[in-house]
Amino acid sequence: MEYENILLEQVEPGIYQLTINRPRSFNSLNSATLDEIYAAGESLANSADARVLLVTGAGEKAFVAGADIPEMKDKTALEGQAFSQKGMRAFRRLETLAIPVIAVVNGYCLGGGCELAMSCDWIIASEKALFGQPEVNLGVTPGFGASQRLPRLVGRAKAMELLVTGRQIKAAEAAEWGLVNHVYAADELMEKALETARLICTKGPVAVNLVKQAVQRGQDIDLENACLLESEVFGLCFSTDDQKEGMGAFLEKRSAAFKCR
- Helix (H) and strand (E) counts for the chain? 11, 10
| DSSP-assigned states of every residue in 158-205 | HHHHHHHH--EEEHHHHHHHTS-SEEE-GGGHHHHHHHHHHHHHTS-H
Q: Collect all residues with Cβ–Cβ distance below 8 Å to 187 and sequence separation of at least 6.
A: none
**Which residues lie closer than 8 Å to 137 by C-beta, 6 or more apart?**
166
With contact defined as beta carbons under 8 Å apart, do 29 and 87 qualify?
A: yes
Catalytic residue, chosen from 4, 79, 127, 135, is: 135
Whether 36 is catalytic:
no
Q: Has 135 been annotated as catalytic?
A: yes
Please choose, from the candidates 61, 59, 86, 58, the residue with its C-alpha nearest in 3D space to the C-alpha of residue 71.
86
Contact present, 183 and 126 (Cβ < 8 Å) = yes
The strand pairing partners of 10, in sequence order, are 16
Tell me which of 115, 176, 245, 252 is the catalytic residue: 115
For the annotated catalytic residues, the residue numbers are 115, 135
